[in-house]
Amino acid sequence: MITPMKSKLLGLCSWVVFLGMLFAPTVALAARNEPEREPVDARLEGYPTNVTLEGGSTAMTWILLIVCGALIFGGLFKDAKRSHLD
């Protein structure tokens, strides 16, 4: 049985969730239209030249895919008639 206090609390929580869902797209669109700023790292300030690294590559992803592929294909070609004594 729902008491009047629980009923009021449930109604209030429902309204808070409803209003949050109603205004969430508005807040997201407002944040998207804001010009992007580069984050400031205080450790890098004061240098006469740019001391940050350039953007990375996808080499590590390819190496990981090759290693995973080798493991998968190694399992595919394993003999099904092996005994546990191998």
pLDDT value for 86: 55
Which portions of the chain are predicted below pLDDT 70? 1, 31-37, 39, 83-86
pLDDT value for 57: 86
Enter the tokens of residue 23. 């205004």
Classify residue 46 as left (phi > 0), alpha (psi -120 to 50) or beta: left
pLDDT value for 15: 94
pLDDT value for 84: 66
CA 25 to CA 19: how far, in whole Å? 11
pLDDT value for 50: 78
